[in-house]
């Protein structure tokens, strides 16, 4: 983190927060590549991105709820399964080498972007 300065990380925070609020927890799409460019190891970049997006997601959820765009009752049935998926993903993160992890993340972004454009 010494390679990049406070301005870089301030911009990273703002962009990640903006994407998170706009796309609904999409901040990792910005955070992971930017953290990697700051010479943060790939796995640490993913984990740091999660630590960053958690509070951003809570703030975004509050704003969505205040505007009537979110109901906890709709999210509650998904949360236990999301927690299971998060635990499994965290286990896999430890086991997957950095290079394949980059490729998997990139392919996921391409597929997600393609689906959004085509639908």
For the segment 24-72, what is each residue's pLDDT rounded down to a tens digit?
777 788 888 889 888 889 889 988 988 888 898 888 888 888 998 888 8
Q: Tell me the pLDDT tens digit for each residue of 67-77.
A: 988 888 998 99
The span from the CA of 30 to the CA of 16, in Å, is: 6
Per the CB < 8 A criterion, the answer to whether 69 and 24 are in contact is no
**What is the domain count for the chain?**
1
Residue 48 lies in a domain: yes
Q: Provide the residue range defining the domain that includes 66.
A: 6-118
Q: At residue 71, what are phi and psi to the nearest 5 degrees?
A: -130, 125
Residue 96 lies in a domain: yes
Rounded CA gap, 56 and 58, in Å?
Answer: 5
Q: Which residues, 6 or more positions from 56, have their beta carbon under 8 angstroms from its beta carbon?
A: 16, 17, 20, 21, 25, 27
Has residue 83 been placed in a domain?
yes
pLDDT value of residue 105: 86
Return d(Cα 19, Cα 14) in angstroms, integer.
9
């Amino acid at each position: 983190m010494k390679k990049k300065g406070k301005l870089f990380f301030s911009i990273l925070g703002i962009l990640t927060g903006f994407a998170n609020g706009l796309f609904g927890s999409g901040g990792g799409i910005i955070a992971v590549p930017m953290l990697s460019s700051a010479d943060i190891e790939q796995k640490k970049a993913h984990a740091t991105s999660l630590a960053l997006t958690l509070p951003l997601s809570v703030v975004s959820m509050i704003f969505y709820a205040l505007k009537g765009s979110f109901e906890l009752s709709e999210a509650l049935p998904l949360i236990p399964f999301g927690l299971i998926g998060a635990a499994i993903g965290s286990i896999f993160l430890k086991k997957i080498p950095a290079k394949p992890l980059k490729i998997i993340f990139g392919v996921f972004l391409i597929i997600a972007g393609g689906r959004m454009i085509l639908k």
